[in-house]
A and B are shown apart, each in its own frame.
Chain A
Amino acid sequence: MNAIEVNNITKTYSTKKNVITAVDDISFSVNEGELFGLIGPDGAGKTSIFRILTTVLLADKGNATVLRLDVVKDYTAIRNIIGYMPGRFSLYQDLTVEENLNFFATIFNTTIQENYDLVADIYKQLEPFKTRRAGKLSGGMKQKLALSCALIHKPKILFLDEPTTGVDPVSRKEFWEMLKRLKAQGISILVSTPYMDEANLCDRIALIQTGKILEIDAPQNIVSRFDKNLYAVKSKSMFNLLNDLRAYSKTESCFAFGQYHHLVLNEVHPDLNELKSYLKNHSELEINQINPGIEDRFMQLMKK
């Protein structure tokens, strides 16, 4: 059974001057027990999708179900079985850590004790601060508390909208380890992120851009569809190198990628010696063929 099914959903917003299509005829499904990622930048439509699936926003067109329940007709039933962590934390800043968790347990007719084992792992790290107001917590701790609050009624599906945005790498890493453990307990998870490196931590992902899905698959399959030779190139003057590579007649694309530039050539069997002689003015030149990452594929799809 599919945990989530989305069929041809469209959502537009109207302002005085124009109509913005936030979600443009999108379809996808999430299997039960799957960790599924919506990967895309701000404005891709991720939050609108989350809000439609969590029954707080109506789509203009299309339909969607969450555990076979319709997001329009069965909204009350859906609200009882899902946990939702919106992008901006849903915590009450003036309540303490413990009061927040207690509040969320109570509105779902349960108690902290009843489902403590589910959140124990996460909440243990917060217990030393349980009398601190949520507003005074660090970003990483707010994120852990928000996750605990979304879990305390033992939901069957978790919706996490950009849970790691603005959080430092250590907290991000811990957060993804928590998600893995929740998944192991059979909870289906839909998570969104603008961080491409987090895509690899999902079972399957949808790459999404301006309201449209570019591709849906397991991360390794998405990467394997990058069908060109990719080179990492470096020299002493990276700025000049970028200009020179972009001006090279056989360059299809060249982007800065940290310490290296990623270069795609428009030939099946490129002559690297020719490229080297073209770049002969560059000292400390390095050219290595490399395997692409999700970001390389995303950029390739964006150009199509």
Chain B
Amino acid sequence: MALCLSGRKSPLPLRLEDTKKKTMAEKEVVIKTDKLTKKFGDFVAVSEITFEVLKGEIFGFLGANGAGKTTAMKMLIGISKPSSGKATIAGFDVYKETEKIKKSIGYMSQKFSLYEDLTINENIQLFGGIYGLSDDEIEKRRSELIDKLNLQNEANKLVGSLPLGWKQKLAFSIAIFHTPKIVFLDEPTGGVDPITRRQFWDMIYEASHNGITVFVTTHYMDEAEYCDRVSIMVDGVIKALDSPAGLKKQFNANSMDEVFIMLARDAKRGE
């Protein structure tokens, strides 16, 4: 993978017009929730969470095991109906417009959204087709993507044979292949080496720069520091929400790890 192992002399593609676009659209809200709640019987998995995420923002969604992150995320991506409260995703209602939500977002899960028994090209064609892109458009974007990731020699190999780091980059690229407004990343970078992890964050920065909102959950607290803002969930409630610098100041802590431990130490719930 030629995504600059040396970390130099291989600048990411920069588009000036996008910089301008981002500044102009800075205030646009793409995720908005108001007292969003999910109950399973008597158990309140997610309790009245209220927050907004802006266009192009990298938003870290953190919480201890069992805090309710996954349940909250499922409501946001339109696959779990809330018990009460309101939310709009890319302007669409989470109760009534879930199909429109699904078309406006990309999703990459911990366990990868790729088919291991298909080749790289086949995976791209499959996902492009699912999202309704025309064959010409798929082909154009496919060849751009293969060039960008430097996968010319691997394009016809099975995804299952690729190293973990490549799979992660490919899964992310495919999650944003249809240029969604928001991409949801569920613990995307576990287990890779520090350079590969950073190449992955380079891609996230680039997507954000191009106006795609990035909503990411992670267990790496140092990774939370890459986010523009982070929320920390404990026992179904959002306990804190601010920029990493703001949170460290608020809790008089040196690292996000310390902030997290202060907030989550007394959590009642397990997984």
Contact = CB atoms under 8 A, between A and B. Distances in A.
A222 interface: no
Contacts of B194: 41, 196, 255, 295, 298-299, 302
B260 A169 contact: yes
Contact of A139 (B65, B164, B196): B65
Interface stretch (B27-35, B40-48, B205-213): B205-213
Contacts of A139: 65, 270-271
Contacts of B140: none
Which of B193, B201, B208 has most A Cβ within 10 Å? B193
Interface stretch (A21-29, A54-62, A98-106, A241-249): A241-249
Contacts of B116: none
B219 interface: yes
B191 A251 contact: no
Contacts of B257: 169, 197
Contacts of B65: 138-140, 167-168, 171
B96 interface: no
A253 B202 CA distance: 14
B270 A259 contact: no
Given A41-B191, A197-B222, A170 B261 contact: yes
Nearest to B110: A166
A124 to B, nearest CB: 16
Given A169-B219, A169-B264, A255-B198, A41 B206 contact: no
B225 A246 contact: no
A123 to B, nearest CB: 16
B8 A253 contact: yes
Contacts of A167: 65, 219
A152 interface: no
A240 B195 contact: no
Interface residues of A, number: 45
Interface stretch (B10-18, B75-83, B84-92): B10-18
Contacts of B221: 169
Interface in B201-234: 201-202, 205-206, 208-209, 219-226
Contacts of A255: 7, 194-195, 198
B156 interface: no
Interface string A46-68: 00000000000000000000000
Interface residues of B, number: 50
Contacts of A237: 19
A196 B194 CA distance: 9
Given A167-B65, A247-B9, A138 B270 contact: yes
Contacts of A240: 14, 19, 209
A303 interface: yes
Contacts of B208: 239
A256 B8 contact: no
A238 B65 CA distance: 31
B219 A166 contact: yes
Contacts of B195: 255, 299, 302-303
A276 interface: no
B4 interface: yes
Contacts of B269: 138
A256 B201 contact: yes
B192 interface: yes
B64 interface: yes
Contacts of B196: 41
Contacts of A194: 190-192
Interface of A: 40-44, 137-141, 165-171, 173, 194-197, 209, 237-240, 242-243, 246-247, 251-259, 295, 298-299, 302-303
Given A40-B193, A165-B190, A256-B198, 7 more contacts: A41-B194, A43-B163, A138-B66, A140-B65, A171-B64, A251-B8, A255-B7
